[in-house]
């Protein structure tokens, strides 16, 4: 059970990292972008996510853990729409539904 909590924590930390990287992506130059606090923090969250994911892999098969990480795509799409008004049209909703269905199928009767 703890390994699935670590997997969920890793996914959540990865989502936070991705959102922070997006927040730091409005600099004029590449050097300025990588010196911005949101970018540095985002990379740090990705590192923490990798640690949690690696620990989760001790007990969760890769064939389950890796597809589970795609839940982060769904979360990021929704949060990006809410925070930055990024598009969330029919095409994106269909993609989110397919990803969610795949995750559901993965855990169905597990």
Q: Report pLDDT for 59.
A: 97
- CA distance to 3, 9, 33, per residue, from 38 (Å): 29, 20, 9
pTM: 0.92
DSSP secondary structure code for residue 110 in this structure:
-
Identify the CA nearest to 56 among candidates 110, 15, 85, 13: 13
Considering its fold, how many domains does the chain have in total? 1
30-86 tens-digit pLDDT: 999 999 999 999 999 999 999 999 999 999 999 999 999 999 999 999 999 999 999
The DSSP H or E segment spanning 32 is helix 30-35
Domain that holds residue 40: 2-107
DSSP string, 57-69: TTTS-HHHHHHHT
């Amino acid at each position: 059970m703890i390994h699935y909590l670590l997997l969920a924590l890793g996914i959540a930390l990865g989502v936070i990292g991705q959102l922070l990287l997006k927040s730091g992506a409005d600099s004029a130059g590449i050097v300025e972008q990588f010196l911005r606090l949101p970018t540095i923090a985002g990379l740090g969250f990705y590192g923490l996510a990798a640690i949690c994911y690696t620990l989760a892999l001790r007990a969760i098969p890769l064939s389950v853990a890796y597809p589970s990480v795609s839940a982060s795509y769904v979360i990021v799409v929704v949060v990006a729409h809410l925070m930055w008004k990024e598009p969330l049209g029919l095409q994106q909703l269909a993609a989110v539904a397919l990803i969610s269905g795949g995750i559901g199928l993965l855990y169905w009767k597990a």
